[in-house]
Amino acid sequence: MTKLFISDLQGKEEFESIFLVKLITTMEDKSGKRYFNIILADASGDLESRLWQYSPEVEAAIVKNTFVRVRGKLNFYQGRRQCIVAQIAKVSETEVNVDDFIMKSAGDPERMYQRLLVIIDGLSDVYIRDLLRNIVTDGEIARRLKVWQAGKTIHHAYRSGLLEHILSCTELALSLSAHYRVNPNYVVAGCILHDLCKIYELTDGVTVEYTEEGKLVGHLVKGLELVDRFSYKIRNFPHYLKLHLKHILLSHHGEYAYGSPKIPQTSEAYLVHLIDLMDSKMGSLEQIRRSDSTTGHWSGFVKHLDRIVYKSELPFYPEYVDDEGHGDEHREAKRSDAAPKSAAREPSDQGPRASAKGQPDPKTSLGKMLGNFKVDS
Ligand SMILES: [Fe+2]
Ligand SMILES: [Fe+2]
How far is ligand 1, taken at its centre, from the CA of residue 248, in Å?
A: 11
Asked whether residue 377 carries a pLDDT value surpassing 60, the answer given is: no
Asked whether residue 373 carries a pLDDT value surpassing 70, the answer given is: no
**Cα 52 to chain center, whole Å?**
33
Q: Which DSSP string corresponds to 34-74? A: EEEEEEEEETTEEEEEEE-S--HHHHHH--TT-EEEEEEEE
Q: Judging by beta carbons within 10 Å of its beta carbon (0-12, 13-18, 19+), is residue 152 exposed, middle or buried?
A: middle
Q: pLDDT band at 336, cuts 50/70/90?
A: very low
How far is ligand 2, taken at its centre, from the CA of residue 159, in Å?
A: 15
How far is ligand 2, taken at its centre, from the CA of residue 280, in Å?
A: 6
Q: pLDDT band at 290, cuts 50/70/90?
A: confident
How far is ligand 1, taken at its centre, from the CA of residue 204, in Å?
A: 18
Ligand closest to the CA atom of residue 249: 1
pLDDT (0 to 100) of residue 326: 58
More confident residue, 377 or 171: 171
What's 263's DSSP letter? -
- 150 and 204 Cβ atoms separated by less than 8 Å: no
Q: Can you tell me the distance from the alpha carbon of 353 to that of 350, in angstroms, rounded to the nearest whole number?
A: 8
CB atoms within 10 A of CB 18: 20
Ligand closest to the CA atom of residue 220: 1
Alpha helices, H only, the chain: 56-61, 109-121, 126-136, 139-145, 161-180, 184-193, 198-201, 212-216, 219-231, 239-251, 267-291, 329-337, 341-344, 346-349, 362-370
Q: Could you report the per-residue pLDDT of 19-61, keeping only the tens digit for each?
A: 999 889 999 999 999 999 999 999 888 889 999 999 999 999 9
> What is the arithmetic mean of pLDDT over 121-142?
98
Ligand closest to the CA atom of residue 276: 2
Q: Can you tell me the distance from the alpha carbon of 140 to that of 223, in angstroms, rounded to the nearest whole number?
A: 15
pLDDT (0 to 100) of residue 359: 43
pLDDT (0 to 100) of residue 355: 37
How far is ligand 1, taken at its centre, from the CA of residue 280, in Å?
A: 10
Asked whether residue 333 carries a pLDDT value surpassing 80, the answer given is: no
Find, among 57, 58, 87, the residue nearest to 71 by Cα.
87
Q: Can you tell me the distance from the alpha carbon of 46 to that of 103, in angstroms, rounded to the nearest whole number?
A: 10
What's 259's DSSP letter? T
Find, among 271, 283, 309, 307, the residue nearest to 376 by Cα.
283
How far is ligand 2, taken at its centre, from the CA of residue 171, in Å?
A: 13
Ion ligand 1 residues within 5 Å by Cβ: 195
How far is ligand 2, taken at its centre, from the CA of residue 338, in Å?
A: 35
pLDDT (0 to 100) of residue 367: 44
Ligand closest to the CA atom of residue 259: 1
How far is ligand 1, taken at its centre, from the CA of residue 123, in Å?
A: 23
The angle that helices 126-136 and 109-121 make with each other, rounded to 10 degrees, is 160
pLDDT (0 to 100) of residue 166: 98
pLDDT (0 to 100) of residue 351: 37
How far is ligand 2, taken at its centre, from the CA of residue 190, in Å?
A: 10
Ligand closest to the CA atom of residue 275: 2
Residues 6+ apart with CB under 8 A from 95: 18, 67
Asked whether residue 110 carries a pLDDT value surpassing 60, the answer given is: yes
CA dihedral defined by 259, 225, 211, 133, rounded to 10 degrees? 110
How far is ligand 2, taken at its centre, from the CA of residue 351, in Å?
A: 25
Ligand closest to the CA atom of residue 163: 2
pLDDT (0 to 100) of residue 77: 78
Share of the chain above pLDDT 90, in %: 65
How far is ligand 1, taken at its centre, from the CA of residue 220, in Å?
A: 7
**174 to 120, 181, 188: CA distances (angstroms):** 11, 11, 7
According to CATH, the superfamily of the domain at 6-101 is Nucleic acid-binding proteins (2.40.50.140)
Asked whether residue 9 carries a pLDDT value surpassing 60, the answer given is: yes
pLDDT (0 to 100) of residue 365: 43
Q: Can you tell me the distance from the alpha carbon of 327 to that of 253, in angstroms, rounded to the nearest whole number?
A: 45
pTM attached to this predicted model: 0.79
How far is ligand 1, taken at its centre, from the CA of residue 252, in Å?
A: 7
Query: Which range, 151-155, 270-274, 329-333, is most confident?
Result: 270-274
* Residue extents of the structural domains in the chain: 6-101, 109-285
Asked whether residue 79 carries a pLDDT value surpassing 60, the answer given is: yes
How far is ligand 2, taken at its centre, from the CA of residue 377, in Å?
A: 9
Q: Which helix (H) or strand (E) holds 15?
A: strand 14-28
Q: pLDDT band at 80, cuts 50/70/90?
A: confident
Q: Could you report the per-residue pLDDT of 218-271, keeping only the tens digit for each?
A: 999 999 999 999 999 999 999 999 999 999 999 999 999 999 999 999 999 999
Pair type for strands 34-42 and 80-91: unpaired
